[in-house]
Amino acid sequence: MKDMATPKLSAKELETLLGPEFPGMFDPDGGYSIEKVWFGGSRIRKHYNPRSLRPGGTISGGTLMKLADFAPYVAILASIGWVPLAVTTNLSISFLKKPAQRDLIAEARMIKFGKRLAVAQVSIRSDGEDQLAAHATATYSIPSSEVK
């Protein structure tokens, strides 16, 4: 149980490993920050960027969906180690409230860690708000050969 609570990779290590794979991903200007990881979860900040706006002055659904997909990916890598080829098989997102023109905070929580499939729940809020902007459930396929 102790082991389960310890992530295999820290937020810092993940940013170092992921940076070259996803150029620009951690730019302070509109990119992401991995704020925290733990066994089975992650908290990711998406820095506000006016280019993400859509008609109505709200942040685009595409921006929310990318964040909803990235947060569990980070949680999986933090929890089981470097398996960059883990792929999303399914993502279902509900858009609940138009996000303000501010940073977004996503919290991913793994609700299943199987040998082949991992499933996460993701809550997305505007920074400083209680109400959810979006809620997603995402499933990932873990390449068996990659898990050590």
Binding site residues, a second copy, CB under 8 A:
21-24, 51, 54-56, 60-62, 65-66, 69-70, 84-85, 87-98, 111-112, 116-117, 119, 121, 132, 135, 137, 139, 141
Task: Give the list of residues 6+ apart from residue 25 with CB closer than 8 angstroms, or none.
Answer: 18, 19, 31, 32
Instruction: Report the nearest approach of a second copy to the CB of residue 93 (Å).
Output: 5
Instruction: Report the nearest approach of a second copy to the CB of residue 111 (Å).
Output: 5
Whose Cβ is closer to a second copy: residue 65's or residue 100's? 65
Secondary structure of residue 45 in the 3-state scheme: strand
Whose Cβ is closer to a second copy: residue 91's or residue 100's? 91
Secondary structure of residue 14 in the 3-state scheme: helix
Residue 122 phi, psi dihedral angles, 5° rounding:
-130, 130
Instruction: Report the nearest approach of a second copy to the CB of residue 125 (Å).
Output: 11
Whose Cβ is closer to a second copy: residue 33's or residue 88's? 88
Residue 108 phi, psi dihedral angles, 5° rounding:
-105, 140
Instruction: Report the nearest approach of a second copy to the CB of residue 64 (Å).
Output: 9
Whose Cβ is closer to a second copy: residue 87's or residue 147's? 87
**Which residue is it, tokens 């470097």?**
82
For residues 8 and 22, give the distance between their C-alpha atoms in angstroms, rounded to a whole number.
21
Whose Cβ is closer to a second copy: residue 12's or residue 116's? 116
* Neighbouring C-beta atoms of residue 26, cutoff 10 Å: 16
Closest to 69 in 3D by CA, of 37, 93, 35: 93
Instruction: Report the nearest approach of a second copy to the CB of residue 74 (Å).
Output: 13
